[in-house]
Amino acid sequence: MNSELDADLAPANAVSVALRSDRPKQSGIRLISGSKATFESWERAFREAKHEILCEMYWFEDDALGAPFIELLCARAKEGVQVRLIYDSFGSANAGRHAFRPIVEAGGEVREFHSIYPWRRGFSFRGIAQRDHRKLVVVDGMVGFVGGVNLTNIAAPREWGGEDWLDYAAMVTGRAAHDLKVLFYMTWEHLNPKRARPLPGMEKKKEVAMDVMSGVTVRASHAIRRTYLDRIRKARSHILIANAYFIPDPSVRRALRKAARRGVDVRILVPEHSDVPHAAFASKGTYQGLMDAGVHVHHWVRNFLHSKVAVIDRWGTVGSYNLDYQSWRFNLEVNVMSNDDPFVDELERRMRSDLALSKEID
């Protein structure tokens, strides 16, 4: 892999379209619990958009849930709103180009991330392993959404015909939303067929109260994993992690064990049954070593857990990043991280409620 998409701020010549206004100085954040609330928030934001809708989605289906969203994006494009969509070729394979063609016909723009079809322009065997795993929405550069929720009916609540996956998202405003917009355009420009060279590497941003930490590739700075490790190593009270595909690398496992041995309450929530059986098998292989050190491992038994969230002392994160090798080494991911007290308090309350409904592994 040789992509250099892991960045927090793009150069002006790469994403000039994204930098028409000054970067706001303040950010706001609010936790969104569950797919229903997430879908409703997206729909409301799309309907209220004045100028621009940006959507970067790993899994976008044209099913009972996705089809109405496609129709809404078409309607907004016809009304003059700039609609731009990036979908992952593998994650959205069931939909494919035909599903999103109406958006283009309505005046919007659509780009496919790293096609899995050898006969299509832009295909490369080198690019197959790297997937755009983000679930990112930005409206008018002022409101952004990040989380684990895919745009597919299987994740929807049961009353909508779905399986009611346990998942979280976050709505951000101000500076963080602007950063998400820039991040979107980094990928958008990378997928420009007229582009003659890859995007240059970006400077690392200093951590602030809230930061947008972008995706991880082989040549990236591994910002999300590095921040996880730093927080785990400095933890003094508690570490709560809920992760759908929990297969941490040796450094993360070692940091979790050391935290538990120094008296930190470390609790890991993972699904009892996974939609990726081999991932569940690999995850269970990490349990014994962690539990021997005092880490508490919990199984979510009610429905499918798809969350990618954590609270470590007075810090919380929500996003698309799984604690596995694929997210660390290949995927484009995005998490929002914050020490905002109301956000952290609400996320911790939700996570402890989930843990109370789970089954601790003996």
Task: Cite the active site residues.
Answer: 133, 135, 140, 306, 308, 313
**Starting from the edge strand earliest in sequence, which strands make up the sheet with 359-360, in order?**
210-214, 334-338, 315-319, 308-312, 238-243, 265-271, 296-300, 359-360
* DSSP β-ladder status, 82-88 and 238-243: unpaired
Q: Which ranges of the chain does DSSP label H, i.e. alpha helix?
A: 35-48, 66-78, 96-105, 175-190, 223-234, 250-261, 277-284, 287-292, 325-329, 341-356
End-to-end Cα, the chain, rounded Å = 40
Beta carbons within 10 angstroms of residue 277's beta carbon? 9
Burial class for 181, CB neighbours closer than 10 Å (0-12, 13-18, 19+): buried
Q: How far is CA 131 from the centre of its chain?
A: 12
Please give the angle made by the CA atoms of 197, 198 and 200, to the nearest 5 degrees: 115
3-state secondary structure of 157: coil
Structural contact between residues 86 and 132, judged by C-beta atoms closer than 8 angstroms? yes
Only one residue has tokens 């009916």, namely 153
Query: Which phi and psi (to 5°) does residue 229 adopt?
Result: -60, -45
3-state secondary structure of 325: helix
Q: Which two tokens stand for residue 157?
A: 């609540």
**Distance from C-alpha of 92 to C-alpha of 60, rounded to nearest angstrom:** 5
**Distance from C-alpha of 197 to C-alpha of 200, rounded to nearest angstrom:** 9
